[in-house]
Amino acid sequence: MKFGRRTIIMLIAALTAAIAAAVLVQVNSTSMADTKLLKMKSLSIVIRKSTRVLEVYDGTRLVRSFEMALGFAPDGDKEIEGDGRTPEGEFYVFTKNPKSRFHLSLGLSYPAPDDAARGFAGGLISREEHDEIIRSAKAKGMPPQKTKLGGEIYIHGGGTARDWTDGCVALDNGEMTELFAAIPVGTKVTILK
């Protein structure tokens, strides 16, 4: 059976429409259409540990809030590997992990330069580790993740019923899908007490 050029174009158009419809169903199923996060231009995240709320801003305008869970020892700033605390301070998203064991995840740039200064002064990390943390922050890259200060701090799925992570921030999976789709690498993240 031979198809003419016009028939092929119509088939391609129909296939494209079917794919677009399938994507729209996925978008609607994660409520992204309701929040319009994907259309925002200047996103940032503020995490308020005391109220267990993650807020998304477009510039200075609050556009979305999510309930969240923290590390299993939520009070205070993270100091060392294994303390179960969620760090406080200024960070950025250095990676997006679509294959997280906790649904999806956004990697945060902990340890940050102020953590490096504290860790070096306290004898927890070497001069080389300190300098690598500083270099990675300047390049907006991944800081060392296996130091005595801890590392591998993510915003990820897995649920918000209780504080259960090793220091990460956890959302419900559906909300994590929405956040993951909207937040680019490099997004500023502020974690407050």
What would the pLDDT profile of 99-140 be if each residue is shown by its tens digit?
999 999 999 999 999 999 999 999 999 999 999 999 999 999
What is the reported pLDDT for 41? 76
- Lowest-pLDDT range of 19-23, 52-56, 73-77, 158-162: 19-23
In this predicted structure, the answer to whether residue 83 has a pLDDT above a threshold of 70 is yes
CA dihedral in degrees (30, 36, 41, 47; nearest 10)?
-60
Backbone angles phi, psi at 94, to 5 degrees: -100, -15
For the chain, domain boundaries: 1-30, 39-192
Strands (E) across the chain are located at 43-48, 53-58, 61-67, 89-97, 105-108, 154-156, 169-170, 188-192
What is the reported pLDDT for 21? 44
Residue 12: band (very low, low, confident or very high) from pLDDT cuts 50, 70, 90: low
Q: Domain 39-192: which topology? A: L,D-transpeptidase catalytic domain-like (2.40.440)
> Do 100 and 156 touch, CB atoms closer than 8 A?
yes
In this predicted structure, the answer to whether residue 142 has a pLDDT above a threshold of 50 is yes
Task: Note the pLDDT tens digit of each residue in 14-68.
Answer: 555 544 444 333 433 334 444 456 666 789 999 999 999 999 999 999 999 999 9
What is the reported pLDDT for 2? 64
Q: Which residue has the higher pLDDT, 184 or 10?
A: 184
